[in-house]
Structure 1
Amino acid sequence: MKVIAVGGSVTGLAAAAALADAGHEVLVLEREAAAPPSTLDEAADGWARPTVPQAAHSHAFGSRGTNLLRDRLPDVYEDLLGAGTGRVNLADSPPPMLGDFAREPADDDLNMLTVRRSVFEWVLRARALSRPGVSVRTGATVRGLVTGEGRVTGVRLADGTELSADLVLDTSGRKTDAPKWLATAGLPVPEQTSESCRITYYTRYYRRLTPAPPGPLNRGFGAGGLWDSYTAVLFLGDGDTFSISLGVLPDDKEMKSLREEEAFTAAIRATPLLAGWVAPGNSEPISPVYAMGGLDNSSRLADPAGDLPVGFYGLGDAVCTTNPAYGRGVSLALAHVFELVDLLAAHPTVDRAQAARFAGASKGLLAPWLGESIANDRGRAGLWAATVAGERPQMPPPGIVTFGTAVAASTKDAQVWRRVAQVMMSLVSPAELYANDEITERVGRALAGGPPPQLPGASRADLVAAVRGATAGQQAA
């Protein structure tokens, strides 16, 4: 089958590699005209991706995606390890409060890779384009779809060129123009829903200068926590690199200066859990501070029983986006890619039945994570908004498991910790955490004596004071 993938970032490259391995021919259309770095070192030092706004920020490569790479794209997995990517199993670093932690067979799946996004994408691109069935065309902007006999048969580029294919994939990410393409072609457009994540991120990259980690690693792949008005998470990268991302409410005026290096550093130093990592002599910054806002939990998932375009499928962020704080983007994109690969093997005819099957598989895969992200973001944003306003946060009803209560209980109950980890790593459905009678009982029992001690973060007053002090010092200078 001849396939066109519109978008040459992680989802498009992974789709190209996986489909080529299944015997298909794939042309990747990349809007960006600039040539990618020619070496891994150049990519690692900062690969500018203006068409991929999230590329400059921290990434978690969770268990579902890591295991798929290992099992179904093993050459990519091995090359990532050769590029300095670290391997982590979360069960090797359970909360110390759990005491004698006994591993279970399911823990073997709690794998993660620690690597910068730029290194990950460069390795994936090199391996994808090494396949005989994959080619790429850069500087190619799609302006519309070509149709015939009631189905999509190709794409139309900005210069008027028409390219034909048996199947067109939208791998262009959260900024996709697919609704416009479909509407112009007279094809059904899936209903779009969107709700703000109510968070803005600030990220900076560092190189560790010490032989051992200069601070605790309470998350296996890094360190961090969520406090009453912000979140701060450190992500280990390839080699001796790491990144730190701070998240705050978009309308938190006191935190607007986090885009300035002095204020960003001050906020980290005010967070005891992470302060040691940026102490003089322990690390050096290797990037500016990057900011990213305007994030939504959104869906363009089609109704399997409704009217569907034939020969055109969206993958990953092009059809569903969730708050990147949960680190599921790459894992879910890879899972979505292999849903398509397996569907094409079982149902190779491009027709209405195939479209319905893929729409059903897409909804089954992605909708639960969208719902969880929306619920968690509402709770977290409500907590932060109340704190910023000097009000008392509203507590969840008794007997209801939320992400916050589950995480708190996970420091006292190994089975709750395991289930939280499995859900965070996209290995089991969110319902297995939030709507499971045994887990609900365990959470209630673990928290009956009160919540556990909170991770060492900054109070709202301390955080504001630190950021104001850094800003004032900069203005004085």
Structure 2
Amino acid sequence: MQLGRTAVVLGGSVAGLCSAGALAPYFDQVLVLERDELPAEAEHRRGVPQSKHPHFLLNSGRRAIGALFPGFEEALIAAGGLHLMPSLDAAYLDGEGWSARKRSSMTMVYGSRILIERVLRDKVRELPNVTIREGVAVTGLAVGPDGITGVYFGDEHVAADLVVDAMGRGSSVSTWLAAAGRPEPEVLTLDAKVTYTSRWYELPSPRPSTWWWQHLVIMPTPHRGEHPAEHEFLVNFFPVENNRAIACMGSWGIEMPRTTETFVESARRVRTPLFAEAMDRCSPTSEVHLTRSTGNKWRRYDRTPLRGLACVGDSICAFNPFYGQGVSSAANSALLLREHLSRAERLDARFFVRFLRAQRAMLNVPWRLAMARDKGYKCAEGTEKAPEWQRRLLDAVSGPAFSFIVGAAREDAVVDEHFAKVFNMDESLGAMMRNPRVIAGLLAHGFRTALGRQRVPFGFDPQAEPPATDYSLVAAR
């Protein structure tokens, strides 16, 4: 059912491309306006500086993009994406040492942000009623008495039945609304002062015989005594297409290296030598890229709904990138928009109220996860900053609680299944912790731990190579 003549999408990144796919069945014409000139291949561009860092495509995001663009995952893998099982293919250092390697219920597709966007652009260009205009700077919105009626860019104006804001964290839409006399949305913020820095490498060919792993993850130290600042880093050696990896170090409130020399020096001080050794065996292909724009920010458009306007991705809710929620949240918002369009008879005020209410419920799941961790940091600032007593409590329990759940998931298939759902935004943390079977699994794990009777070993020496043994059968018993 056609709901209008023209829909306009502001921004041609992941959120905008997914939105174009969502809108195409319901409008005669979908126009995507993008400030950058878009590359034909998987290349970095000015408007997406975060493309130089690792991006997690969570399972909920994989499914959402696949629903919008059938065959997306197959195309991503054909273009070089890697379909891996993190519990079996990643060396994971948490708590006192390396975790055991084993099978689990969760798989992921690894690839760079630039590859994900290139495959999405190819899919969008297959849609006959979608036009992408590049090198276009949007300058404002046409606002009528009943809502948004169009978009201004350069000397041009286009009338629109629906405008989707996919311009990211720096979107000017709320400013344009204020200039037109409309109320700006309330904004919730929490900035935990996360900074992360990355460098790209070409992997050796053939790989060293000890590298059974594809992905290397080093969690911050659990110790509170004296240690190098680098022991507080969250570290990834993240595999991407074309036999490459992204070495990434990040922290909450700590100054991060900006040069290649300081980057390598810091890498040698993280809490396992494997990270620096891996870099030494690879060939660097980039300089060091640093990002500071990482605060959580939720523009509450659901409290001031406006006919003719929908917002997706970081333009409505941006997360601390450490948690890998951004791409998947954008894709899920676009899919939610399509579902509401499929049930609509007209784009009246009630349509936008219903969509925003459903989007709020969806965004609340990743938002609460981000808050649960970031509120515990003393450096955190913003409207959602926790009272000091709550901050101290979160700081004391969030890290150990996370490690405890990870430990229980190693030995209990049901805990593992639900933890994977939480990680992939398929289930809220609250729903998981209200599940009687999950609670029973956690209690059993705590009992076995107290007696020293864990089935799956853990805490392997972080100064040694992570164990290659597959403990899947041990866990199953």
Q: Could you say which TM-score interval applies, normalised by the shorter chain?
A: 0.7 to 0.9
Are 1:313 and 2:310 counterparts? yes
8 Å contact 1:399–1:440 — kept in the other structure?
Answer: no
Inter-CA distance 132–214: structure 2 relative to 1 (3 Å threshold): farther
Aligned equivalents of 1:359, 1:59: Cα separation in 2: 26
The within-5 A match list for 1:326-475 is 326-379=323-376, 402-448=401-447, 449=449, 454=459
- Deviation digits for residues 414-466 of structure 1, max 9, x if unmatched? 433332222111122222334545434433442453698557669xxxxxxxx
**Which deviates more, 164-173 or 66-75?**
66-75
Amino acid of the residue matched to residue 249 of structure 1? W
Give 1:313 deviation, angstroms: 0.8
- Deviation digits for residues 64-103 of structure 1, max 9, x if unmatched? 11223334412433332221111124465598967886x6
Aligned equivalents of 2:374, 2:419: Cα separation in 1: 16
Gap runs ≥5 in structure 2: 93-97, 223-231, 381-391, 464-477
Could you tell me which residue of structure 2 aligns to residue 277 of structure 1?
A: 278
- Deviation digits for residues 366-392 of structure 1, max 9, x if unmatched? 012112101112336689xxxxxxxxx
The within-5 A match list for 1:51-130 is 51-90=47-86, 107=105, 110-130=106-126
Give 1:273 deviation, angstroms: 4.3
**Which deviates more, 77-86 or 284-293?**
77-86
Inter-CA distance 404–198: structure 2 relative to 1 (3 Å threshold): farther
8 Å contact 1:143–1:156 — kept in the other structure?
Answer: yes
Give the secondary-structure state (helix, strand or coil) at the position aligned to 1:145. strand
Give 1:138 deviation, angstroms: 2.1
Inter-CA distance 187–401: structure 2 relative to 1 (3 Å threshold): farther
Could you tell me which residue of structure 2 aligns to residue 471 of structure 1?
A: none
Give 1:178 deviation, angstroms: 1.5
Give the secondary-structure state (helix, strand or coil) at the position aligned to 1:15. helix
Aligned equivalents of 1:114, 1:287: Cα separation in 2: 20
Aligned equivalents of 1:173, 1:418: Cα separation in 2: 32
State the TM-score, normalizing by the size of structure 2. 0.80
8 Å contact 1:187–1:309 — kept in the other structure?
Answer: no
- Deviation digits for residues 220-272 of structure 1, max 9, x if unmatched? 7553323351110122101311112111233x3xx44x112122223334433
Give the secondary-structure state (helix, strand or coil) at the position aligned to 2:375. helix
The within-5 A match list for 1:122-201 is 122-157=118-153, 159-201=154-196
Aligned equivalents of 2:347, 2:59: Cα separation in 1: 32
Give the secondary-structure state (helix, strand or coil) at the position aligned to 2:300. coil
**Which deviates more, 258-267 or 84-93?**
84-93
8 Å contact 2:365–2:427 — kept in the other structure?
Answer: no
8 Å contact 1:302–1:363 — kept in the other structure?
Answer: no
Inter-CA distance 297–231: structure 2 relative to 1 (3 Å threshold): same
Give the secondary-structure state (helix, strand or coil) at the position aligned to 1:226. coil
RMSD of aligned residue pairs (Cα, Å): 3.1
Could you tell me which residue of structure 1 aligns to residue 292 of structure 2?
A: 293
Aligned equivalents of 1:417, 1:173: Cα separation in 2: 33
Aligned equivalents of 1:365, 1:129: Cα separation in 2: 28
Inter-CA distance 248–456: structure 2 relative to 1 (3 Å threshold): farther
Aligned equivalents of 2:326, 2:266: Cα separation in 1: 27
Could you tell me which residue of structure 2 aligns to residue 29 of structure 1?
A: 33
Give the secondary-structure state (helix, strand or coil) at the position aligned to 2:72. helix
State the TM-score, normalizing by the size of structure 1. 0.80
Give the secondary-structure state (helix, strand or coil) at the position aligned to 2:142. strand
- Deviation digits for residues 134-184 of structure 1, max 9, x if unmatched? 112223222221123411111122x34221111000000111111111112
8 Å contact 1:225–1:455 — kept in the other structure?
Answer: no
Bigger relative contact order, structure 1 or 2, given CA contacts below 8 A and separation 6+? 2
Aligned equivalents of 2:51, 2:438: Cα separation in 1: 36
Give 1:130 deviation, angstroms: 3.0
Give the secondary-structure state (helix, strand or coil) at the position aligned to 1:410. helix
Could you tell me which residue of structure 1 aligns to residue 240 of structure 2?
A: 237
Aligned equivalents of 2:459, 2:186: Cα separation in 1: 41
Amino acid of the residue matched to residue 205 of structure 2? T
Inter-CA distance 399–234: structure 2 relative to 1 (3 Å threshold): closer
Inter-CA distance 328–83: structure 2 relative to 1 (3 Å threshold): same
Aligned equivalents of 2:57, 2:85: Cα separation in 1: 12
Could you tell me which residue of structure 2 aligns to residue 209 of structure 1?
A: 204
Amino acid of the residue matched to residue 127 of structure 2? R
Inter-CA distance 382–394: structure 2 relative to 1 (3 Å threshold): farther
Give 1:365 deviation, angstroms: 0.6
Inter-CA distance 268–18: structure 2 relative to 1 (3 Å threshold): same
Inter-CA distance 187–417: structure 2 relative to 1 (3 Å threshold): same
The percent of aligned pairs where both chains have the same amino acid is 28
**Which deviates more, 436-445 or 10-19?**
436-445
Aligned equivalents of 1:100, 1:205: Cα separation in 2: 28
Inter-CA distance 316–348: structure 2 relative to 1 (3 Å threshold): farther
Gap runs ≥5 in structure 1: 384-392, 459-477
Could you tell me which residue of structure 1 aligns to residue 15 of structure 2?
A: 11
Aligned equivalents of 1:76, 1:273: Cα separation in 2: 34
Aligned equivalents of 1:401, 1:203: Cα separation in 2: 27
8 Å contact 1:249–1:381 — kept in the other structure?
Answer: no
Aligned equivalents of 2:182, 2:394: Cα separation in 1: 46
Q: How many pairs does the alignment contain? A: 425
- Deviation digits for residues 268-305 of structure 1, max 9, x if unmatched? 344334244213xx3111111100013211111333xx
Give 1:12 deviation, angstroms: 0.4
Aligned equivalents of 1:327, 1:173: Cα separation in 2: 15
